[in-house]
A and B are shown apart, each in its own frame.
Chain A
Amino acid sequence: MPEPEPQSKGLDPAAGLLACLFPGAGHLYRGEAYRALMAAFGVLGLFLGGMFVGGIDTIDAEEDRIWFVGQAFVGPVAFGVNYVHQTRFKAYDPDTRVRRTGYPDEMRASRIIDPVKGEQPVWVPAEDGRGPPNVKSVAKMNEIGTLAATIAGMLNFIIILDALLPSVRGVIGRREEESPALETAQGGGDA
């Protein structure tokens, strides 16, 4: 889809900031709507694809902190999913007082385990027909889901940099358009 050529600048802090807030928002701000849409499609496709494969358990800043460092580059979406995961799906182990995902024979209930903090979600034995709100992902489903969500964050970091420093691709693009033979010789100049 042809788009108007955006103005190349050395640094575009507004576009960089918007790109941090939502995948593709920086390019949308710069007038590259189709590029922004495809960037968001790729990043959110990977992130949500990872969640589809491994469940919400793949986004976990407490138990998988190192992985979450990469996932965090997706932006507020990753932090929001992690917040929901920690507060709506996990509960405290009544013995260890550590927040964790429930076992199949447990359910969430509000109990006072720390008088200072008042009622908190705690795992208790499940009543008939009830169970934890989610199933913990294990093995390859967890690995692949976590990896996909982390790659989404790393790719969005590239997209943030591209929005922040728009002149880099502009220079390469102009050079390739001026010299198609060079592009052909370089195999498209990418991949």
Chain B
Amino acid sequence: MNPLAYTPFIDPIDLHDWWFLLLIPMAFFVACAYKAVRVPSMRKFWPQVISFTIQIVGGIALLGLAAYLVLGYAIPSLAPMPGS
């Protein structure tokens, strides 16, 4: 077997630089499974899935932004490193 050959589901994909994009399909499938047992009527299923997916992705993005602001600005301003 060629050691360089890629086999889906057997070998990992090379998406190390774009790993954060994997949040979107993960949030979508989480929303599908969760809403499948949560919505009382399946008539509302897809609108609920889309809404929940956007909420998850938006929430994680806001958490990421908050972490960036705290680590990049708030903490350095409160406790500046010597020489900075």
Contacts and interface: CB of A to CB of B under 8 A. Distances in A.
B26 A38 contact: no
Given A131-B1, A172-B40, A173-B40, A144 B31 contact: no
Q: Is the interface of A mostly helix, strand, loop or mixed?
A: helix
A144 B19 contact: yes
A42 B31 contact: yes
A142 B14 CA distance: 11
Contacts of A53: 12-13, 15, 22
B2 to A, nearest CB: 6
A4 to B, nearest CB: 11
Give the interface residue-count category, chain A: 35 or more
Interface in A133-151: 133-135, 137-142, 144-145, 147-148, 151
A157 B34 CA distance: 11
B39 A190 contact: yes
A97 interface: no
A155 B30 contact: yes
Contact of B11 (A24, A49, A55, A147): A55
B11 A104 contact: no
B55 A57 contact: no
A52 interface: yes
Interface residues of B, number: 39
A126 interface: yes
Given A46-B26, A151-B26, A141 B33 contact: no
A3 interface: yes
Interface in A24-70: 24, 27, 34-35, 38-39, 41-43, 45-46, 48-49, 51-57
A174 B26 CA distance: 31
Given A35-B42, A53-B15, A191-B51, A133 B1 contact: yes
Contacts of A159: 33, 36-37
Contact of A132 (B3, B25, B32, B35): B3
A156 interface: yes
Interface of A: 1-3, 24, 27, 34-35, 38-39, 41-43, 45-46, 48-49, 51-57, 89, 104-105, 107, 126, 129-135, 137-142, 144-145, 147-148, 151-152, 155-156, 158-159, 162, 169, 172-174, 176-177, 188, 190-191
Interface of B: 1-3, 7-16, 19, 22, 25-26, 28-45, 48, 51-52, 55
